[in-house]
Structure 1
Amino acid sequence: MQRTVSSPHPSHDHASHRPGTLDHRYRGEHPVRTLGYLLRPDRRRIVIAAAVFVVKHSPVWLLPLITANIIDVVVQHRPEQELWLNAGALLGVLVLNYPMHLLYVRLLGGSVRRMGTVLRDALCRRMQQLSIGYHSRTSAGVLQAKVVRDVESVEQMVQQSADMGLAAVITLIGGLTVIAVRVPSFLPVFLVVVPAAALLVMRLRARLRTHNESFRQEVEQLSARVSEMTSLIPITRAHGLERTALGRVDGSLRQVFTAGLRLDLLNGRFGALAWILLNSLGVTCLAGSALVAYHGWLPITAGDVVMLSAFFTTLTGSMTTLLSLAPIISKGLESVRSAGEVLQAPDLESNAGKDRVDEVQGRIDFEGVGFGYEGVDSPAVEDFTLSARPGETVALVGASGAGKSTVLNLLIGFIRPTSGRILLDGTDMATLDLRSYRRFLSVVPQESILFEGTIRENVTYGMGETDERTVRLALRDANALDFVEDLPDGLSTVVGERGARLSGGQKQRLAIARALIRNPRVLILDEATSALDTRSEALVQEALARLIHGRTVFVVAHRLSTIRAADRIVAMDRGRIAEVGTHEELVGRGGVYTGLQPARSA
């Protein structure tokens, strides 16, 4: 076997870093830092977008000032020219709003969409790097919710924080600046709003985060339940268990309802208290400024009273907007934390810096291999020692729980031995980049996994451009070409989700064609014929005979017809090898293998 040391970031490596991805960067830091990293490539666009927003939003805080100027021109009979200058200035700024708004949307919208794409890309990449053990413990529905719902929440938070938050902040800064210049004596009164609002936010932030996290977990649980329900629909309908299935989902629906209502009530109380407080202060300021002007205590004009009243309404609305953003921001940051649960999950398949596999002869050596699952006292596999020569077919048999599937998972590299070692062509697999090794390996499982696509796409999955002749040869050798040609669209026929439009035998023959087209050196057959009828099994067995020729094959099967032709049969019992030999040899011994025969012949 020839080996080369892989570069840290090979161009074809699916785990390599690309600009803007989050691979291996999230370490539980504050989610705002994660957002900063996500948006860093677009920081110039965001700064320009903010500057554009200031221009487009300026009429909101200029209007009260210009209104005050026009009123004073009328009341004080100042030159008419001032009236037209003020009105013209406001109209000019209003006309600028349209092009500035379109530019702002283009700049910020593009940045937010890119951020969402980068985050989804990072999540999908991390899922590909996480071990099979992680995926067996984590619901696919939960992971789907993180990629779809959580990222959408982050996008909404950034978009709304920019649109509403930036508008509120600019209005506050512009309004307070005008007041400080024109009526500085009233500035302290206006500044009372800011600490009052900040106090509300600080008191409720912790509770908002707790309730958002609870609601998010309930939605993830519901997603897992719905995913489970849809996958079980054929069994549910066949046994008339619709009411039972709905009952399982109803429990999650009630929990989501309760958590959501609790969150809505908290947000409602938060919003109502803020609105009452801010508007009460606004009324107080209006009455106070009018009283000051009426008695002449300070040099305030009629225009100033109108301006202060308008500003307090505007600034109150801005503060209310900022307060209303608190639950949105809290939900978005919780979604960043939710994504971080995947991005910082430590259960990775580590291949960095290990030797690439460029050629495989097919010799496999298990040397005292043991493996135990976490939380289980007894090992699943113990002291497993076996050598498979290139081109040899080895069958693994044994009762349920004997350790057969664990041996296959060790061979694929889904799990690593907790003791002993596995050698590939004389090299310890612990030192190899398993992704490069798997290019020389194919698996035909009990239930072939097809995706929503054409037959051609399923057979050539991951192969890139493959000519039609090669595809047809693989289908022919898999005994699948005849039924494919009878389909209305031939190779372009869409198989449906998980191959729903095909029979079990047809799906299994496509799985064999998928394996054949890759020309693997190591082949794993995991109960490849156990779910088939007699005729389908005969066609699949014939195709398997072509597939295993000249390859190192490990096969797990319950049917005698599948294993009796193996070069060696390994009978396992409680994770250990009980006996090894050919079918005839093991039958003659009358041991563990013989005890399995009645069930296998059925």
Structure 2
Amino acid sequence: MTSSSPLDHHYRGENPLRTLLYLLREDRGRLALGTAAFAVKHSPTWLLPVVTANVIDIVVSHGPLTQLWLNCGLLFALLLLNFPGHLLYVRCYSRSIRRMSTGLRSAICRRLQELSIGYHSRVSAGVLQTKVVRDVETVEQMVQQSADGGLAAICSLLGGLAVIAARTPVFLPVFLIVVPAAATLVMRLRSRLRSHNEFFRQEVEVLSSRVIEMTSLIPITRAHGLEQDAIRRVDGTLHQVQGAGLRLDLLNGRFGALSWVTLNALGVGCLAVAAQVAYSGAFGVTAGDVVMLSAFFTTLTAAVTALINLAPTISKGLESVRSIGEVLQAPDLESNAGKAEVAAVTGAVRFEAVGYTYPEAADPSVADFSLDIAPGETVALVGASGAGKSTVLNLAIGFLRPSTGRILLDGVDMETLDLRTFRRSLSIVPQEPILFEGSIRENVGYGMGELPEEKVRDALRDANALEFVDRLPAGIDTVVGERGARLSGGQKQRLAIARALIRDPRILILDEATSALDLRAEALVQEALARLMHGRTTFVVAHRLSTIRGADRIVTMRAGRIAEIGTHDQLLHHGGEYADIHAANIA
């Protein structure tokens, strides 16, 4: 990772404005050029009152016509510069903003790959999706709108104040009242805007989670006639978002109205004073100056109002910066940096008095778990729900690190290993196979680059999948649909086995791989699993005892501890907990 990566920045505890400057630091030169181009292309806005004042004074005093045409020619030339100046500004700022948003999204996705499985189990996919899509888009809009509206307002303010200071300096203090008044309004309401934006953002994240939950549960909802319950559940969240959004809109509305009235009242007062001064002939203020000052009242009032109106957008954008920082600075990382890479795995796994307690849990999920597994051995874990079987699997994969004890891989403490390299020798066949919306070829060979077609077909054949794949319209190039929606459960499971086979793993994890299948599909999958398990160290978790009957050893677990260990026949003869589970299974 390069030093310029957005992941290098410490978002937590950092002012979000400073974070924003950090994200844009590589484009400082381009942004400076774009700002200069904007100043040139925007100059007619604040020069027009000056030219108008000059023309009026020339007309009133019957001055030389050459000066009149010179003023108009100057303004016309600046107008012509608007087009190339605007294009240069858009090119510079758009490229910088797009690069920033792309870099942020890439950084979030990279960090999501580095965060632990525990983090992903606590934070819903909907919330993370919102951060990648909505929050980055909000930051992008904040920068873009601040550039468009903010630069215009600042150029108008600086240009106008410079002209007033040079031409009618007596009125400069009057104009300078407008800016502090606006700043006071912004500072008083900024804290409230921030808290309301944060609350609204959290409500939208909850809504995103609810919608994803609703869509994933549609088959169950429809099957049980619970459509109205699902709608009421989402409607409750929608009303919460509506209420939070309405409160935020009302606050923004009060903020905008109050600032508009205040600033325009100041403008009217300044106009009255200028007219009175010109009428009395004091300070050399001319009729043209009154017109110029009147125009500047409107221009500068609009500029300050625009800056104030940017406050909600900026507040919302900065809150999104903080939201993104929650992911980029999440401490729950799987630490592999500087650890030894695993070049080869024989498959010997040893648990030495391993215990694990989940965060905020009162009791350990696994305690004093000791087990020595030889290369190529199949070990099955059985027990009631909550006995700790899945926790043991996650410890073996390295998704969780032991709270006590240690796990050795081929005699080496896994705490000292780069687990990413270890997992290249590991395959998992879960209860619900995870397929993406691509072809069968792409799903089976995921992450392995270009593979010979014959190698893919061999893996499908060994997984008992070729018989249905060859019947599909496009064979191995058939698109399986989102999450494999066009395939049956047994077909998806056999593709998952083919994906494991093609990797030739040394360690295999089977987590309820046949629990959701009918008898015929289970028979085909069991046959494929037997080929997959041959010669590989295998961990099996299954409620169907037919899946584990042939295991070299069966470990019965109770409350996170090992209750008994033996073969199928030994445990039945022993008449303990496994025998009770077996009897219940048969019944």
Q: TM-score, normalised by structure 1?
A: 0.96
Correspondence for 1:531 among 502, 510, 516: 516
Tell whether 2:101 aligns with 1:119. no
C-alpha displacement of 1:378? 2.3
Q: Which residue of 2 aligns with 1:595?
A: 580
Tell whether 2:83 aligns with 1:98. yes
Correspondence for 2:567 among 574, 578, 582: 582
CA distance in 1, matches of 2:32, 2:165: 27
Tell whether 2:428 aligns with 1:443. yes
Judge conservation of contact 1:28–1:340 (CA < 8 Å) in 2: no
Judge conservation of contact 2:11–2:322 (CA < 8 Å) in 1: no
Correspondence for 1:141 among 121, 126, 129: 126
C-alpha displacement of 1:77? 1.0
Q: Which residue of 1 aligns with 2:366?
A: 381
The code of the aligned residue for 2:252 comes to N
CA distance in 2, matches of 1:585, 1:600: 17
The code of the aligned residue for 1:396 comes to L
Aligned pairs for 1:148-159 within 5 A:
148-159=133-144
CA distance in 2, matches of 1:427, 1:458: 33
Tell whether 2:39 aligns with 1:74. no
C-alpha displacement of 1:560? 2.1
For this pair of structures, how many residues does the alignment match? 587
* DSSP 3-state at the match of 1:356: coil
* DSSP 3-state at the match of 1:350: coil
CA distance in 1, matches of 2:531, 2:4: 45
CA distance in 2, matches of 1:452, 1:68: 67
CA distance in 2, matches of 1:69, 1:485: 85
Moved more, 522-531 or 387-396: 387-396
Correspondence for 2:443 among 458, 462, 480: 458
C-alpha displacement of 1:99? 1.1
* DSSP 3-state at the match of 2:385: coil
Correspondence for 2:530 among 545, 555, 573: 545
Q: Which residue of 2 aligns with 1:292?
A: 277
The code of the aligned residue for 1:514 comes to R
CA distance in 2, matches of 1:601, 1:383: 31
TM-align CA RMSD? 1.2
Is there any run of 5+ residues in structure 1 with no aligned partner, and where?
A: 1-15
Tell whether 2:197 aligns with 1:197. no
CA distance in 2, matches of 1:560, 1:253: 46
The code of the aligned residue for 2:476 comes to L
Correspondence for 1:34 among 12, 19, 41: 19
The code of the aligned residue for 2:189 comes to L
Judge conservation of contact 2:356–2:365 (CA < 8 Å) in 1: yes
C-alpha displacement of 1:467? 2.0
Q: Which residue of 2 aligns with 1:181?
A: 166
Q: Which residue of 2 aligns with 1:406?
A: 391
Q: Which residue of 2 aligns with 1:422?
A: 407
C-alpha displacement of 1:230? 0.9
CA distance in 2, matches of 1:17, 1:361: 35
Q: Which residue of 1 aligns with 2:320?
A: 335
C-alpha displacement of 1:152? 0.6
Q: Deviations over 1:524-557 (max 9, x none)?
A: 0000001000111111111111111111001111
The code of the aligned residue for 2:161 comes to L
* DSSP 3-state at the match of 1:357: coil
The code of the aligned residue for 2:506 comes to R
The code of the aligned residue for 1:331 comes to K
Q: Deviations over 1:387-407 (max 9, x none)?
A: 111111111111111111110
The code of the aligned residue for 2:117 comes to I
C-alpha displacement of 1:461? 1.3
Aligned pairs for 1:565-576 within 5 A:
565-576=550-561
Moved more, 107-116 or 123-132: 123-132
Q: 1:312 to 1:113 in 2, by over 3 A?
A: same
Q: Which residue of 1 aligns with 2:332?
A: 347
CA distance in 2, matches of 1:600, 1:530: 13
* DSSP 3-state at the match of 1:486: coil
CA distance in 1, matches of 2:111, 2:288: 61
Moved more, 75-84 or 439-448: 75-84
Q: Which residue of 2 aligns with 1:498?
A: 483
Aligned pairs for 1:278-289 within 5 A:
278-289=263-274
C-alpha displacement of 1:375? 2.6
C-alpha displacement of 1:95? 0.9
Is there any run of 5+ residues in structure 2 with no aligned partner, and where?
A: none
The code of the aligned residue for 1:401 comes to G
Judge conservation of contact 1:23–1:343 (CA < 8 Å) in 2: no
Correspondence for 1:316 among 292, 301, 320: 301
* DSSP 3-state at the match of 1:394: strand
Q: TM-score, normalised by structure 2?
A: 0.98
Q: Deviations over 1:393-450 (max 9, x none)?
A: 1111111111111100100111111111110000000110111110110000000011
Tell whether 2:455 aligns with 1:470. yes
Judge conservation of contact 1:412–1:438 (CA < 8 Å) in 2: yes
Judge conservation of contact 1:442–1:524 (CA < 8 Å) in 2: yes
* DSSP 3-state at the match of 2:359: coil
CA distance in 1, matches of 2:149, 2:240: 32
Judge conservation of contact 1:20–1:41 (CA < 8 Å) in 2: no
Judge conservation of contact 2:457–2:466 (CA < 8 Å) in 1: yes
CA distance in 2, matches of 1:177, 1:594: 92
The code of the aligned residue for 2:300 comes to L
